[in-house]
Amino acid sequence: MNARAALRKFLPPIASLVALVVIWQICCVVFDVPRFILPEPVDIARSVVDNFDVLMTHAGVTLTELLIGYALGVGSGLLLAIVMNFAAPLKAAIYPILVASQTIPKVAIAPLFVLWFGTDLLPKVLIIALLAFFPVLINTLSGLEGTDRDQLNLMKSVDASPWYVYRFVKIPSAIPSLFAGLKLALTVSVIGAVIAEFVASSKGLGFLLLSYNASLRTTELFATLVILIAISGLSFLLIVAIERMFSWQQRGAARRGGSTSIVPKGESA
């Protein structure tokens, strides 16, 4: 994407975001809103700067939980998707249970995890992993199962081993939906981290939110939210960037946008 196209794409949302913040600021000043109800954006920004060290310390804790929990959830979701795609009887045996288990509000079992695993890193990591696991599993599995039948027949026509079938056909064709799952998993992971810290913790951004809330330090609470949003936003962009590198669909779309068709004239497309 060239600079102008990027500008055309990103300028409108950025402009409306800026407008929103400006309106917010004006409203706070004009209507003289109490600071503990809704702080001014300018104050929030100042608070981010002033409390940067504290915010980063707690952000580090939350980020650690997120990284480990997300990796664990994504890894096990991926693995189980492949195993279930490979072994149909296993899928028949456990898939319905897994789907049914999704009706359990996982947030509700967070206190139980604290009871079992204490108040340290472990229960947070497990709750995040639990939340991240399912979207990755579902999306990867549907991607693997959505593999084009002709492509599978092609592999069968040369008696391809399962390894080659996965390597050349099934996994590449599952990549777009795998990334859809990764993005979904990231969003729920951040929720999981905050909830887990709400339940029992003495550090982390979730803990910070709760303690600022309790002492009506609303400006600092908003500053914490800003950091939290920055973390999920940046991680999301990171996944999008990785997807750009890996996904053949993204690659094709980017290329088609950039150059004209090379199909020679007179040749039917």
Name the residues that contact other proteins, by CB under 8 A: 148, 150-151, 153-161, 164, 168-169, 172-173, 175, 248, 251-252, 255-256, 261-264, 267-269
- Helix ranges restricted to H, 31-161: 41-50, 52-86, 88-101, 110-117, 121-145, 149-157
Query: Least separation, in Å, of the C-beta of 78 and other proteins?
Result: 18
Query: Least separation, in Å, of the C-beta of 175 and other proteins?
Result: 8
- Which C-beta is closer to other proteins: that of 124 or that of 170? 170
Query: Least separation, in Å, of the C-beta of 143 and other proteins?
Result: 13
Q: Cβ neighbours of residue 212 under 8 Å, at least 6 residues apart?
A: 218, 220, 221, 224
Tell me how far apart the alpha carbons of residues 55 and 50 are, in angstroms, rounded to a whole number. 10
- Which C-beta is closer to other proteins: that of 64 or that of 151? 151
Tell me how far apart the alpha carbons of residues 206 and 197 are, in angstroms, rounded to a whole number. 5
Query: Least separation, in Å, of the C-beta of 269 and other proteins?
Result: 5
Which strand (E) or helix (H) includes residue 266? none
- Which C-beta is closer to other proteins: that of 4 or that of 265? 265
Query: Least separation, in Å, of the C-beta of 90 and other proteins?
Result: 19
Instruction: Give the distance from CA 112 to its chain's centroid.
Output: 25
Amino acid at 64: T
CA distances from 211 to 75, 185, 191 (A): 33, 27, 18
- Which C-beta is closer to other proteins: that of 107 or that of 175? 175
Query: Least separation, in Å, of the C-beta of 93 and other proteins?
Result: 23
User: Which three-class secondary structure string do you get for 203-248?
Assistant: CCHHHHHHHHHHCCCHHHHHHHHHHHHHHHHHHHHHHHHHHHHHCH
- Which C-beta is closer to other proteins: that of 155 or that of 195? 155
- Which C-beta is closer to other proteins: that of 43 or that of 243? 243
Q: Which two tokens stand for residue 99?
A: 């789907």
